[in-house]
Structure 1
Amino acid sequence: MVSVNFRQAFATDHASITDLHVRVSSEAYADMLPQDYLANVMPGEKAKLWQRRLAPSVNPERLVITLAEVHSGLAGFACFVLDEETNFGTYLHNLYVDRSFQGKRLGLRLLIESISRFSEERWEEPVHLLTMRENYPARGFYDRLNGHVVEQKQNVMSRYPDVTFVRYQWPSARAMAANASNLGIPLREEDGR
């Protein structure tokens, strides 16, 4: 098994995060979003997003960004946004794993590593995310994690109103981490809280 190092993201990571985000999105959404958007618009949007998120002026208390690195570089990342759409709980905005590491439980490990960085209070708050309704591989992953679909919505991407998103929610970060653990990724003792 390949050795994986999990760590917090820094400003110097924005290019590698952007590259992985664009590459995995282009593959995953090839049949869901217009090719022009994926090839010509999305790369610039994601570059700006990660420069903004990793800027020195950003309050580190509003984001938990965890990277999974292997000897060859970035294998995946997770980003929880702590102050967005809080009426549903803590927002898992991004979970991306390089294709060569998909199906190897790296996504589960990223979730557990990220949640382990939460404050005690946040462990008890709900967790939610949005994914495209037709993104069946991601939905299968979230279904196996016992996420519940609590909402469907359109127009999240105003340029493409025919895209429908579903919102998954878990009763707490603790429940999400326990579900990941039940799928074969043990919680460290200090993560059991």
Structure 2
Amino acid sequence: MEITIAAEHDADAIAELHTASWRRAYTDLFPAWYLNGPLLAERRRSWRGRLAEPVPGGALFLAVETGELLGFTYLEPKADGRVILDNLHARPGATGRGVGGRLLRHALGWTAQAHPGRDVYLEVLQGNTRAVAFYERHGGRRTASRVCHFEQGFALPEFEYTWPAGTPVADASF
């Protein structure tokens, strides 16, 4: 498995993987009309936009094996001095193979180099118990709990997990 930097032409593949991941993880959380309706089109618009006009200091990494996109992670510096790990997804069917762990370690290591001294945080829906367990196993500290309001008109409780600056990172290469 190789970790690479995404390019503009990767947007649709990222959107398709993102949609498949949400459909699997959020079946019992998101309304069916959203998961089975506008989700893919929204993800395509979002990733095409992010790759066409990248956020300064941000990064989008892909996990690729023999030409297949297995996962991705997106990081963006925020005005509060932290870096948000805004997405971390492994292709359904490729979970349990270390894709998420590799991407997370890579993201933490990259942040330590590109944005030294900044904490990394993410937001995860409380009902996504598999992801919550993954982040806790990988050293994330629960630092907040709140409600996430989706522009589509629904709201769900979420946790924030943080990896403080200086958190040891093993097996990361950039």
- Confirm whether residue 81 of structure 1 aligns to residue 73 of structure 2: no
Alignment TM-score, normalising by the size of structure 1: 0.81
Matches within 5 A, 1:53-92: 53-55=50-52, 57-59=53-55, 61-83=56-78, 86-87=79-80, 89-92=82-85
Distance 1:150 1:114 in 2: 19
Flag the 1:107–1:155 CA change in 2: closer, same or farther, 3 A. closer
Which secondary structure does the structure 1 equivalent of 2:73 belong to?
A: strand
Equivalent of 1:170, from 160, 163, 168?
Answer: 163
1:42 aligns with: 39
- Confirm whether residue 33 of structure 1 aligns to residue 61 of structure 2: no
Task: Provide, for residues 108-167 of structure 1, a one-character-per-residue CA deviation record: whole Å limited to 9, x for no partner.
Answer: 111222344346362321110001011000000011122121111114314102x11111
Q: Name structure 1 gaps, 5 residues minimum.
A: none
* Structure with greater proportional strand content: 2
Q: What's the % identity of the aligned pairs?
A: 23
Shift of 1:23: 0.6
- Confirm whether residue 160 of structure 1 aligns to residue 154 of structure 2: yes
Shift of 1:105: 1.4
Shift of 1:72: 4.9
2:107 aligns with: 114
Distance 1:115 1:148 in 2: 14
- Confirm whether residue 9 of structure 1 aligns to residue 3 of structure 2: no
Task: Provide, for residues 11-37 of structure 1, a one-character-per-residue CA deviation record: whole Å limited to 9, x for no partner.
Answer: 000010000000111011001111111
Which secondary structure does the structure 2 equivalent of 1:47 belong to?
A: helix
Flag the 1:121–1:75 CA change in 2: closer, same or farther, 3 A. closer
Distance 1:154 1:78 in 2: 23
Which secondary structure does the structure 2 equivalent of 1:58 belong to?
A: coil
Number of equivalences: 173
Distance 1:157 1:81 in 2: 20
Shift of 1:78: 0.5
Flag the 1:146–1:113 CA change in 2: closer, same or farther, 3 A. closer
2:125 aligns with: 132
Task: Provide, for residues 154-189 of structure 1, a one-character-per-residue CA deviation record: whole Å limited to 9, x for no partner.
Answer: 14314102x1111111112x41x52xx3xxxx345x
Q: Name structure 2 gaps, 5 residues minimum.
A: none
2:41 partner amino acid: G
Cα RMSD (Å): 2.0
Alignment TM-score, normalising by the size of structure 2: 0.90
Shift of 1:45: 1.4
